[in-house]
Amino acid sequence: MIPLSLGSTLNEEPILDAGASRHPPTRILFIDLLRGLAAVTMIEAHVFNSMLRADLRQSGWFPTLDFLNGLIAPVFLFVSGWVFAFSSERKIEEFRKGGTGLRNQLLRIVFVWALGYALHFPSLSLRNLRLFNQAGGWQELHRVDILHSIAAGLLILLVTRLWIRSNLLWEALLYSSAAFLVAVAPLCWDSNWASALPAILAGYIGDYHRSLFPLLPWLAFLLLGSACSVRFARAGVRGSPAMMQMLAGLGIVLLSSGYMFASYGFPWRYGSENIRVHPFFFISHLGGTLLLLWICWSWEQHRLPYPRWLQILSQESLLVYAGHICILYRVALNGRSLGSTYSKQLGIVECLALMTFLVGVMWAAAKLWASLKKRNRALARGIALASVPFVAVVLG
């Protein structure tokens, strides 16, 4: 049987390398904490970005909130890469033999990919299909979002890990590939050859079909997450504090450099002028991600209270992502979704109230889902597989 379930790929338990300690493997709590905070902030970002009144966006606090919200995707990508590196370390030899283990891993990646496309699938009514064909609206299906990038990135990580046996060589490849992606991304975003690719591929290369998270340069966050995970495992219990302090210092430097660019500007002489592909945009968001990683690690080191409800959201972050997206944008009441009904119409208190409501709903759904997986995994698998056509067709 295939252990396929919502969250199985994004939320596979990050386990410490058993060889690094004589104790049994344990969860990496600071990774859980980081992902849980990202899940809550993700809901806040979608509510505020969709529904906050335009005049409130001119307030002095909004740019700071906007930057913090911009860290959500880098954090999810970074954490996905980190978790893959840790979990695959225990299974890589099994994967190299092929068979059930490798097949199940590939099916999990395909599931995340399919769910990403389902969330962008247009309504199947005859009227909407006609309008989509006339206006080229099927481009929405070619729009690369965070789930597409994570699935593609996990496949790339899996293939390279199967091919490269040396941890040091794999780590070096991850670092160098991330740097290469960031460097070439401005050249590809406006290139003629990328725009000439089939529509379903062009969105992975650059800002085509309104793609939010093309692989260039967003894949670099996932690669760096895996690279840092490999180094963290190699450092062990004794070396990890020094490594995390180094990452925190690097985060401060990168974040400061990005702030200087935003404030004073730097010359830009090649490629696209879109700010989202500027290397200083990337390094500022990488710096913020590394600082958040260090904060969560410090939280664990000081044994501060870890909210159980946040852990539930973290462990089922794929369900949280798909669920709140459907509630906001795909469930139609009187022909309109919640997001379109209240688009740019709510104040701060109203947005906070809606955000709190959605967090509560998603926590309840995640708790029920986790309980179902424990009691009846076969039923959970069936529901997970049925969720893709349900989201695409019924909620289209």
pLDDT digits (tens, 9 = 90+) for 139-158: 778 889 999 999 999 999 99
pLDDT at 82 over 90: yes
Among candidate residues 81, 6, 19, the one with its CA nearest the CA of residue 388: 6
Over residues 336-363, the pLDDT tens digits come to: 888 888 889 999 999 999 999 999 999 9
pLDDT at 24 over 70: no
Q: Residue 131's pLDDT is what?
A: 52
Question: H helices within the chain, ranges in order?
Answer: 29-51, 62-69, 72-96, 100-118, 126-135, 146-163, 167-189, 192-195, 199-205, 215-264, 279-301, 308-315, 317-325, 338-341, 348-375, 377-389
pLDDT at 266 over 90: no
> 18 near 25, Cβ under 8 Å?
yes
Over residues 84-108, the pLDDT tens digits come to: 999 888 888 888 888 788 998 999 9
Displacement of CA 52 from its chain's centroid (Å): 23
User: Could you give the percent of the chain with pLDDT greater than 90?
Assistant: 58
The residue-averaged pLDDT of 163-177 equals 94
Q: Residue 133's pLDDT is what?
A: 52
The size of the chain, in residues, is 396
pLDDT band (50, 70, 90) for residue 128: low
pLDDT at 297 over 90: yes
Q: Residue 23's pLDDT is what?
A: 41
Look-up of token digits 């390398």: 17
CA dist., res. 370 & res. 300, Å (int): 24
Q: Residue 22's pLDDT is what?
A: 38
Q: Residue 394's pLDDT is what?
A: 63
CA dist., res. 66 & res. 44, Å (int): 11
The residue-averaged pLDDT of 236-254 equals 93
pLDDT at 36 over 70: yes
More confident residue, 193 or 64: 64
CA dist., res. 104 & res. 32, Å (int): 23
pLDDT band (50, 70, 90) for residue 49: very high
CA dist., res. 373 & res. 264, Å (int): 52
Q: What residues form DSSP beta bridges with 336?
A: 333
The residue-averaged pLDDT of 180-198 equals 85
pLDDT at 27 over 70: no
User: Could you give the percent of the chain with pLDDT greater than 70?
Assistant: 87
> 216 near 206, Cβ under 8 Å?
yes
The residue-averaged pLDDT of 101-124 equals 87
Q: What is the mean pLDDT of the chain?
A: 86
Helices 29-51 and 317-325, packing angle to 10 deg: 10
Q: Residue 78's pLDDT is what?
A: 98
Over residues 303-333, the pLDDT tens digits come to: 888 888 999 999 999 999 999 999 998 887 7
Neighbour count for residue 53 (Cβ, 10 Å):
14
Q: How far is CA 100 from CA 3, 84, 95, 105, 153, in A?
A: 10, 18, 8, 9, 21
CA dist., res. 68 & res. 91, Å (int): 35
pLDDT at 392 over 90: no
pLDDT at 396 over 80: no
Among candidate residues 101, 97, 105, 98, the one with its CA nearest the CA of residue 10: 105
CA dist., res. 221 & res. 334, Å (int): 40
pLDDT at 25 over 50: no
pLDDT at 10 over 50: no
> 154 near 148, Cβ under 8 Å?
no
pLDDT band (50, 70, 90) for residue 262: confident
The torsion angles phi and psi of 337, rounded to 5 degrees, stand at -80, 165
Q: Per residue in 271-289, is it b (16+ CB within 10 Å) or e — as a string?
A: bbeeebbbbbbbbbbbbbb
